[in-house]
């Protein structure tokens, strides 16, 4: 991963894009602080679609029949409790 100061990135943008197209992420800094990353489209799409929200994951989960797991809970305490 190559790091470019903003001024150099602006001056050599075509080179920065060529390197990103080659699959190597390019980091652009401003005042020495990383601010943006330039990626090729294939890498971006893979990363953008890799994660999904919890709601989407739950909605995509297979449905279980209500009798597939026990609906009753064991009433015994998990550990002794001293109420005194």
- The architecture in CATH of the region 2-60 reads 3-Layer(aba) Sandwich (3.40)
pLDDT on residue 69: 65
Per residue in 45-82, pLDDT tens?
888 877 777 788 778 877 766 666 666 777 787 787 78
SS3 at position 34: strand
- In this prediction the pTM is 0.59
Per residue in 22-39, pLDDT tens?
999 999 999 999 999 999
pLDDT on residue 36: 95
* Res 9 pLDDT > 80: yes
d(CA 25, CA 19): 8
Q: HEC profile for 24-81?
A: CCEEEEECCEEEEEECCHHHHHHHHHHCCCHHHHHHHCCCCCHHHCCCCCCCCCCCCC
């Amino acid at each position: 991963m190559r790091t470019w100061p903003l001024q150099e990135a602006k001056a050599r943008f075509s080179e920065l894009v060529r390197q990103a197209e080659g699959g190597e992420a390019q980091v652009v800094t401003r005042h020495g602080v990383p601010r943006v990353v330039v990626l090729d489209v294939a890498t971006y799409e893979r990363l953008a679609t890799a994660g999904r929200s919890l709601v989407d994951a739950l909605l995509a989960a297979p449905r279980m029949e209500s009798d597939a797991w026990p609906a009753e809970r064991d009433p015994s305490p998990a550990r002794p409790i001293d109420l005194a």
